[in-house]
Chain A
Amino acid sequence: AQSVTQLGSHVSVSEGALVLLRCNYSSSVPPYLFWYVQYPNQGLQLLLKYTTGATLVKGINGFEAEFKKSETSFHLTKPSAHMSDAAEYFCAVSGSSYNQGGKLIFGQGTELSVKP
């Protein structure tokens, strides 16, 4: 079974400050990990993903995340927050087996606020 826990339902940072959104996962198989962003009244947009290989992955809009197997974590970071980063962020996990069929298990989401 797989699960995702996002620590903190709301995170508030000042513009220009570091953004850190936490995600821990549980998986009985090697995981694929994803971060999605949802802007108000919109669908989900993929920020970045980890499948295999390099554990530090870079995504769009200056975000990156590091897969740490020993900590079962996949935290999302951005060095300098911008007002346009205010949105809901979802971490998701799926199995890396072909037979997993693409099922995504989502965390509860973290709402990021950026203060001027």
Chain B
Amino acid sequence: SAVISQKPSRDICQRGTSLTIQCQVDSQVTMMFWYRQQPGQSLTLIATANQGSEATYESGFVIDKFPISRPNLTFSTLTVSNMSPEDSSIYLCSVEPDRGYNEQFFGPGTRLTVL
């Protein structure tokens, strides 16, 4: 398993600004993921972030809007850029400690409200 922390836990931001969310894992993992959970909805994968390579984005998500960094095997950041109220969501990071089983462990999430 893995213990994951996220910062901030919640934030209220103004339209047009950017927020960077941090994800820290207590062990080294190759695969990290970023998800979005819009109000009352399920989770949607934004991108896969592997250390040493550029993030891979899912359809509907672009690097300019959601730039991701993965500087080492225990840390990643997701930036939500030029925010609008439609970006109000919970953003969760997850890790897959054991490649091949696709079992992911999730952080507590960052609850973002954009005014």
Q: What are the residues of chain A within 8 A of B96 when measuring CB–CB?
A: 102
Does A53 sit within 8 A of B, measured CB to CB? no
Interface size for B (C-beta < 8 A) is 25
Q: What are the residues of chain A within 8 A of B67 when measuring CB–CB?
A: none
Nearest-Cβ distance from residue A102 to partner chain B, whole angstroms: 4
Q: Contacts A43-B108, A44-B92, A101-B48; is A106 near B102 (CB within 8 Å)?
A: no
Nearest CB to that of A45 among chain B residues? B106
CA distance A49 to B103 in the complex (A): 8
Interface size for A (C-beta < 8 A) is 26
Does A43 lie within 8 Å of B41, measured CB to CB? no
Mask: chain B, 75-115; 1 = CB below 8 Å from A; 0 = not: 00000000000000000101010011111111111010000
Residues of A67-111 at the interface with B, using a CB-CB cut-off of 8 Å, are 90, 94-96, 98, 100-109
Binding site for B on A (CB under 8 A): 32, 34, 36, 41-46, 49, 51, 90, 94-96, 98, 100-109
Binding site for A on B (CB under 8 A): 4, 31, 33, 41-45, 48, 56, 92, 94, 96, 99-109, 111
